[in-house]
Amino acid sequence: QVQLVESGGGSVQSGGSLRLSCAASGYTYSSYCMGWFRQAPGKEREGVAAIDSDGSTSYADSVKGRFTISQDNAKNTLYLQMNALKPEDTAMYYCAADRVRSFCSGSFKESDADYWGQGTLVTVSS
């Protein structure tokens, strides 16, 4: 049974930091590109960052220089370190696994996701 379980969301003030985690189980973690997506109220879900098994990363322009994606292959866990948070970063954050690796080429196509987590809410106040 595949599971992606996010944690680490919460409420912070503008300029603050949060670290999200996504614990994966039930599949061969290293065979997939892993990504973070987010969906703000009233908006479509968008790709934020992705990381491949070799450690190569891709980021959306809106988070470059502020967010860092990483992973611990031994723990099958994905992370997203979010610094210098802005109110516009407020959203539900989801992790996803992509076997064809389109996330890791920067395309962040939702339709290429094989598995999704349930999401963790990040709220940034001004």
pLDDT for the residue numbered 126? 94
pLDDT at site 106: 84
Cβ-in-10-Å burial (0-12, 13-18, 19+) of 74 comes to exposed
> Over the chain, what HEC string results?
CCEEEEECCEEEECCCCEEEEEEEECCCHHHCEEEEEEECCCCCCEEEEEECCCCCEEECCCCCCCEEEEEECCCCEEEEEECCCCHHHCEEEEEEEECCCCHHHCCCCHHHCCEECCCEEEEEEC
List the end-to-end C-alpha distance of the chain, in Å, as a whole number.
40
94-117 confidence digits (pLDDT tens): 999 999 888 888 888 889 999 999
> Can you read off the two tokens belonging to residue 76?
């099958």
Amino acid at 88: E
Above 90 in pLDDT, residue 71? yes
Mean pLDDT of 78-104: 96
Q: pLDDT tens across 8-43, in order?
A: 999 999 999 999 999 999 999 989 999 999 999 999
Quickly state the pLDDT bin for 2 (edges 50, 70, 90).
very high
pLDDT of res. 47: 96
Q: Do the Cβ atoms of 122 and 65 come closer than 8 Å?
A: no
Tokens representing 2?
């595949």
